[in-house]
Amino acid sequence: MRADWRPTVSVGILQLRARMLSRVRAFFAARGVMEVETPALSQAATIDPNLASFTVPTAEGERYLHTSPEFPMKRLLAAGSGDIYQICKAFRADEMGRHHNPEFSLLEWYRVGYDHIALMDEVEALLDEVFADARALGSIARFTYREALMRYAGLDILTATAETCRACASAHGIEVRDELGLQQWLELLMSQVVMPACAEGFTFIYDYPPEQAALARIRPGNPPLAERFELLGYGLELANGFHELADVQEQRARFERELGIRRERDLPTVPVDERLLAALEHGLPDCSGVALGLDRLVMLAADVDDIAQAMAFSWCGA
């Protein structure tokens, strides 16, 4: 008899996970945030060149498993839903490792009238609630992207070049064979130098370089900054939030730019979500949204180092 029928999680962690989920739902119920569900299988896909969607053949042509429920949730917001949250599976092809499972659970929520800083406060309140019996939180450190890079990598983003980034990586024992662009270097240093240095407790990093805005709005200034934040827990990336871009022209321009990058890198071109753009054109209320990886949150609460130990069945046993 084969032994791999067994779950990769222990019953104790499964119970912890169930308790955490019910606390999340209680948290939002108490705050009047409505739970919603949106389709996982869509006609359009994410354009982000760093995300790969699974495709599913259907009688009406190819569909895509969502990499996050962001687009349909924004359509609900534009239609007047008010504050909403969703707990769902998200799918990212090729993402497999100790901290990645191609199918994983996301908690995503949107708050009307919040900017990214106000939403960070709410993320902190949620963690307090969900971690009540796991580990003491303390207050969460907050650094801007520039401060974090300066403090932990000794690099000033305002003067950084691909060459200084390569030297900085090398000084931290990271030798890269390929030529990388400046933003790719910054992403590498952020995830391999800065994040591991934030190994104790939780940390917010906010106000990103505009090139890494993704779907965040950009606050004009010198330099302009993307109103985006990330939450790290014990060195692990847990959540990513935006003061959401509502400008349809800007959104379309970013999609075009990312499609260009997809063509350059010979990645599949995917259909742009015209329904999202139509919703933005109709009008997205001023809001902030965040997506939080639930499996990783369980990992931290249970103090395990492999995402497979936080979910019933991992990719290999699915």
> Is 16 or 70 the residue whose CB approaches other proteins more closely?
70
> Is 82 or 235 the residue whose CB approaches other proteins more closely?
235
The CB-of-118 to other proteins minimum distance in angstroms stands at 21
Long-range CB contact pairs, 60-68, < 8 A, 24+: 64/270, 65/40, 65/41, 65/91, 66/38, 66/39, 66/40, 66/41, 66/42, 66/90, 66/91, 67/91, 67/92, 68/106, 68/108, 68/291
C-beta separation of 110 from 73 below 8 A: yes
The CB-of-32 to other proteins minimum distance in angstroms stands at 28
> Is 4 or 178 the residue whose CB approaches other proteins more closely?
178
> Is 99 or 219 the residue whose CB approaches other proteins more closely?
99
The CB-of-181 to other proteins minimum distance in angstroms stands at 9
> Is 24 or 189 the residue whose CB approaches other proteins more closely?
189
> Is 124 or 237 the residue whose CB approaches other proteins more closely?
237
> Is 132 or 180 the residue whose CB approaches other proteins more closely?
180
The CB-of-127 to other proteins minimum distance in angstroms stands at 17
The residues near 297 (Cβ < 8 Å, ≥ 6 apart) are: 20, 130, 233, 238
3-state SS class at 243: strand
The CB-of-80 to other proteins minimum distance in angstroms stands at 28
The CB-of-25 to other proteins minimum distance in angstroms stands at 23
Chain residues that interact with other proteins, rule: CB under 8 A: 48, 50, 94-100, 169, 173-178, 180, 184, 187-188, 190-192, 212, 214, 230, 237, 240, 291, 293
Q: What is the dihedral of CA 150, 156, 161, 162, to 10 degrees?
A: 10
> Is 188 or 277 the residue whose CB approaches other proteins more closely?
188
Q: How many CB atoms lie within 10 A of CB 240?
A: 20
Write out the DSSP string of 268-301: PP----HHHHHHHHH-PPSEEEEEEEHHHHHHHH
3-state SS class at 85: strand
3-state SS class at 220: coil
List, in sequence order, every residue forming a beta bridge with 229; answer none if it has no partner: 206, 241
The CB-of-209 to other proteins minimum distance in angstroms stands at 12
The CB-of-228 to other proteins minimum distance in angstroms stands at 8
3-state SS class at 210: helix
C-beta separation of 187 from 166 below 8 A: no
